[in-house]
Amino acid sequence: MTTRTTEHSNLPLTLLSEDERLFRDSVYEFADREIRPHVRQMDETAHIPRELIARLFDLGVMGIEVPESFGGGGASFFHAVLAVEALSRVDPSIGVLVDVQNTLVINALLRWGTDDLKRRYLPKLAADTIGAYALSEAGSGSDAFALATRAPEQGDGFAITGRKLWITNGNEAGIFIVFANVKPEAGYRGITAFVVERGFEGFSVGKKEDKLGIRASSTCELLFEGCRIPRANVLGDVGKGYKVAIETLNEGRIGIGAQMIGLTRGALDHAIAYVKERTQFGKPIGEFQAVQHQIARAAMELDAARLSVYNAARLHDAGQPFLTEAAMCKLFSSEVAERVTSLAVNLFGGYGFVKDYPVEKLYRDAKIGQIYEGTSNLQLQTIAKQILG
C-alpha cells in the first residue's frame, strides 16, 4: 500500500510507502543532526572524520542490502536510493560515500560473488569496512574497456600491474573491486573483476585529488605493482568483467540520480527559507512574482527528477529492464541539480557567492553529476540506442 506524503517544505507530493517514508526521514534526521554541523569543515579540509563514518555504520546505511545473515539490513535497493537521497540533502560527499558502498560494491558482490566471497567480505562491508570500485584509468574514462591495467595468470592466481584514477572512497576503503585485463589480445573479453584487499602486497593508494566539489569524498589513484590476487578473489567469471562493470554501473547511475535529487532538495530548502526572510523594496523577495515562478519551476523539475529516479529503482527491484530509465534519471537529475543550485546562488545574491552561506558548496557539488559514472553524452547515447533500436 502506498501513501501520499508531504515534504517538510511543502514541495510536491511523492508516492512512498509508510515504511519507506519513515526510513528516508530517519536518515535525513540523522544527517541534519550529526552531519550538518561538520559540512563546512569537511569541505575545507577535504576529509570525513572516522567517527562520523563509524556512526554511518551504526546507523546501518553502509550495508542496506547485505542479508541479515551477514550482519546487514536485508533491505531493498530502493531503500539504498532513499538513504543516498536523504544524506545528499545535507552533504553530497556523504551521499556518494554511501552510494558507492551500496549500489556498486555491495551490489556487485551480491550479484556476482561466490558464496565464499560473500562470506568473507559482506560482513565486513556491513560492519566497519568501506568499499571502492576501481574501473577508470587515465586512458579509460568514457571508453571504459580500453583498460591498460593487466592481470596475467601467475601460479594459482593473478598479478595485477597498472594504475587506476579517480577512485571514489579510495582513501578510506579497505576492500576494492578492481578491473584488469587478463588477456589483452582478447580485447574486452579479457577484462576480469577482482576483489582486492588494502593490505595485499604490491597494492598502494596514491595521490588524493584536490577537487572542485564533493571535496570531503576522497578521489584517489590506485597503484598496482605485481599485486598477487588469489583465484578465489575473481568476481564473476574470468573474462566476464565487462559484464560485471556494465550491469553494476547501470545500478550505480540510479544512485548518482539519488545523490543529485538530494542535493537539489537541499539547495531548494535553503532558497525557499532565504526568499521568505530577505527583504528588498520593503517586502520579502519571495513575494515578487518573478521569484515565485523560479521557485515553482525548480520544485517542478525536482519532483520530475525524483520520480524518474524512484521509477528506475522500482524497476530494478521488480526485476524489470531499467537500462534506459537509469540513463534518463542520471542525466536529467544531474541537469536539474546544476540548474537549481545555480538558481539558489542567484537568489542569495552576493551572499550566494561566499562560503559563509551553504548554496555555493552545493553548486560546486552538483557539477560532478554530469561527469562520473558515465558522462551526460554517454547517457544520451545509451538512451538513443535504446529508442532507435
Task: Transcribe 48-104 into DSSP letters.
Answer: --HHHHHHHHHHTTTSSSS-GGGTS----HHHHHHHHHHHHTT-HHHHHHHHIIIII
| 3-state SS class at 5 | strand
Helix pair 92-99, 77-88: axis angle to 10 deg:
160
- Interatomic CA distance for residues 133 and 169, integer angstroms: 8
Annotated active-site residue 373? The verdict is yes
Phi, psi (5° rounding) for residue 264?
-60, -45
- Tell me which amino acid residue 19 is: D
Catalytic hit among 7, 137, 360, 373: 373
Chain centroid offset of residue 309 CA: 13
Contact in structure between 195 and 110 (CB atoms under 8 Å): no
Task: Match 557539477 to its residue by C-alpha cell.
Answer: 367
Contact in structure between 65 and 110 (CB atoms under 8 Å): yes
- Tell me which amino acid residue 56 is: L
- Cross-strand bridge partners of residue 227: 160
Residues marked as catalytic: 373
